[in-house]
Amino acid sequence: MDTLVQLLRNGLCCIKDLNLYPGSKLYDIATTASYYKFASPLDETTPLDLLIAICQLYAVISLIISGYHILINESFPQWMKYNHLYDYYINFNKSNDEKVKSYLDKYFQQQISLAKRNIVCGVCVLSTGIAFFWLFLSSLHVTQTGFLGGVPGLIHALEVTEVALFVLLYYMYLDVLEKRSIVSKVKTGSYKDEIEWYDPDWQPFWKDPSCACATHLKERNTTELDKNLQNEIQTISKIMKQMEKDENWTKTTHISDYVENLSHQSKKESYCNLIYFILNLLAFLGYGLCVLCYYYPNSDDLSSLKFGFETHDADWWGNFVGDFCWTIEPFVIAFSPLWIYSKKKASKAKME
């Protein structure tokens, strides 16, 4: 639903930017007035403005709820759980196996880092949702009244969105690198220590909902934690010994098929993530140009950053590029799973 509304919202913005269908009721103020008479200057709201405003209001609600959910229900509890579990593991560690110790140290640090990243992403999504409220007000011409900061308030909201998008762009770039890293590992064969690839069905107790790991940590149930940790260390040690014993495990049919499919899928995901990155980078630059034009209205000021355009033209092009890129993005989001999860055709040699 979010993807569909994003497509509709930015598609309508592109129609407004390009002034398409100028003779239609989309631009007829009287059509809006026939349903409800707004006070001035809200009475300048066209049906097109109203449709955009409704979609923007949906974005406000959706992004705030999503950001809150990511922060409160997902990332922060995960960060707390892995931090406490890692501290407990360090004090508990009774394993003399350096490989197991090294693996779990690296594993917990990665999970803590991932949870931190998700916390930052949650803050960015939440702040973007709040900032969208000023865009909603702008579509209804409320900013012209000076309410909630007026036009300067709208620009500050755009600045908040730009900062959030800049941070998310960094993580989008990391996503591309991470997916390419998986492809590189498979290509070079440097994945002999990947327990999750050797045994895809392996699930540590802290990821098992029935185990209630977070509850045990909160209640300091050391008996259950000791027992589960000891069992997990033994399981990991057993898997590692089996991997060492089976030197050619990477060539086992079912494992090689799993790894090949993982590489194939990761390669496609890296391409999609790269497209997301490029589209959002262009949107970031475009909307950033609008902010720049507000603070430097003179066409001669920072003309190189305005790509030689007059201020009015630079503002229009910046806004249009942002709207257009965020119209294309929902198409990629909607149809990419069909491509990513499509099965790779077997090679002729393998079929034979």
Give pLDDT tens digits for 284-310: 999 999 999 999 999 888 888 888 889
Q: What is the pLDDT of residue 349?
A: 44
Indicate whether 341 pLDDT > 90.
Answer: no
User: Which of 162-176, 206-220, 301-315 holds the top average pLDDT?
Assistant: 162-176
Q: What is the pLDDT of residue 351?
A: 41
- Residue range 41-96, pLDDT digits in tens: 888 889 999 999 999 999 999 999 999 999 999 999 889 888 888 888 888 766 66
Q: What is the pLDDT of residue 343?
A: 67
> Quick one: average pLDDT of 182-200?
77
> Quick one: average pLDDT of 197-209?
77
Question: Cα(309)–Cα(318) distance, rounded to whole angstroms?
Answer: 11
- List, as one string, the DSSP characters of 208-249: -GGG-HHHHHHTT-HHHHHHHHHHHHHHHHHHHHHHHH-TTG
> Tokens standing for 102?
């090294």
Indicate whether 242 pLDDT > 90.
Answer: no
Q: Which residues contact 101 (CB under 8 A, 6 or more apart)?
A: 93, 95
- Residue range 178-187, pLDDT digits in tens: 999 888 888 8
Which of residues 119 and 196 earns the better pLDDT score?
119
Hey, what amino acid is at 107? Y
Residue 254's pLDDT band (cuts 50, 70, 90): low
Question: Cα(322)–Cα(288) distance, rounded to whole angstroms?
Answer: 9
Give the alpha-carbon dihedral of 136, 137, 140, 142, to 10 degrees.
180
Question: Cα(311)–Cα(290) distance, rounded to whole angstroms?
Answer: 9
Number of H helices, E strands in the chain: 12, 0
- Residue range 10-34, pLDDT digits in tens: 999 999 999 999 888 998 888 888 8
Which of residues 238 and 250 earns the better pLDDT score?
238
> Quick one: average pLDDT of 317-328?
95
Mean pLDDT for all residues in the chain: 86
Indicate the pTM of the whole model. Answer: 0.87
